[in-house]
Amino acid sequence: MGPHHPSMRGVLRLIVTLDGEDVIDCEPIVGYLHRGLAEYQKLITRNPIFLERVENVGIIGGEEAKNWGLSSPMLRASGIQWDLRKVDHYECHDEFDWEVQWQKEGDSLARYLIQIGEMSESVKIIQQALEAILGGPYENLEIRPFSRIKYPEWNDFEYRFISKKPSPAFELSKQELYVRVEAPKGELGIFLIGDRSIFPWRWKIRPPGFINLQILPQLVKKMKLADIMTILGSIDIIMGEVDR
C-alpha cells in the first residue's frame, strides 16, 4: 500500500495498491457485495427448483458431525454453534458486531444457507473495519523488502517452487505447537514440532476440505446419482486440499 489520506466521512475509503498503482477501492466493493447477495437470495434461495434439489439431501446429525471432525458450515449446519473466531478470540473479531451462522437441519440446504449468511456477515465485518481505520497517511512497511523490481530473482523458479534458497534464520524451540483459524471451508490448522533448528522436525497442515470430504461415502448411500453432485457441492471442497 502506498501513502494515502483516507477521508473521514462515513465509511472510510481504503485504497489497495500494487507496485505503486491503485487497484481497488473497498467502499464500492462493499456496495457491490450487498447487491450481489440480494440477487443471490432472489434467484437461488427462494427458487422452488433449487429447494427441491437440496432439502433433506445429505443429512448429517450433530453428534455425527462432531465424530467425523467436521467444522465450519459442515458442523454448524447440524446445530453445533462452533466458530473459532468466537471460541479462540483471535485477532480483532471480538471488536466487531457479527453473529455465528448456524442451522439445525443438517442437510445440503442448511449448509448453503450458512455459506450465504457468512458472506453477509463478512460484509458487515469489512464495513466495521473500514469505519475503524484512523485518518491520515498510512503505508504497508512490510512490503518494502519484497519489491519485485528490486529483487527480480525472487520470482525465479528456484525461489517459488524448489525452495532451495535459505529460509530466514530463526530458531524453532523444542516443543509442539498447533495453531488454528476459522477458514471459509472449516478449521485450518498448522502443527509443528521444533528441535532448536531453523527447520521444523515435524510439520503438518490440517486442511478442512480433506477432513470434510471423508463423510461423503456415507452421505451418498441409497441416494440418487443426481444427488451426489448436490452433496459434493454442499461440502464445498478445494481439490488442492484433498489429493492426498
Q: Tell me the mean pLDDT in the region 68-92.
A: 94
Position 29 scores a pLDDT of 84
Contact 54, 80 (CB under 8 A): no
What are the pLDDT digits (tens) for 126-140? Answer: 889 888 877 666 555
User: Other C-beta atoms within 10 Å of 59: how many?
Assistant: 16
**What values do phi and psi take at 128, rounded to 5?**
-65, -35
* Distance from chain centroid for Cα 56: 26
Question: In this predicted model, which residue has the larger pLDDT, 139 or 177?
Answer: 177
Whether 150 has a pLDDT exceeding 80, the answer reads no
The highest-confidence range among 64-73, 196-205, 230-239, by mean pLDDT, is 64-73
Give φ, ψ of 23 to 5 degrees: -115, -45
The single residue listed with the C-alpha cell 445429505 is 58
More confident residue, 149 or 31: 31
Q: Strand 15-18 to strand 176-183: parallel, antiparallel, or no bridges (unpaired)? A: unpaired
Cβ-based neighbours of 72, under 8 Å, separated by 6 or more: 83, 182, 183, 184, 185, 186, 187, 208
Task: Identify which of 237, 226, 204 has the alpha carbon closest to the alpha carbon of residue 74.
Answer: 237
pTM for the model stands at: 0.75
3-state secondary structure of 24: strand
Place of cell 464445498: 236
How many beta carbons lie within 10 A of that of residue 111, not counting itself? 26
Q: What is the DSSP string of 30-80?
A: HHHHHHHHHHHIIIIIT-HHHHHHHTTSS---HHHHHHTT--THHHHTTT-
* In contact, 61 and 106? CB cutoff 8 Å: yes
- Please report the pLDDT score of residue 241 as a whole number: 84
Question: Would you give the end-to-end CA distance of the chain in angstroms?
Answer: 37
Mean pLDDT confidence for 184-188? 92
| Model pLDDT for residues 212-236, shown as the tens digit of each residue | 999 999 999 989 999 999 999 999 8
pLDDT band per the 50, 70, 90 thresholds, residue 51: very high
Kindly tell me if the per-residue pLDDT of 17 is higher than 50. no
Structural domains in the chain plus CATH codes: 15-166+209-242 (1.10.645.10)
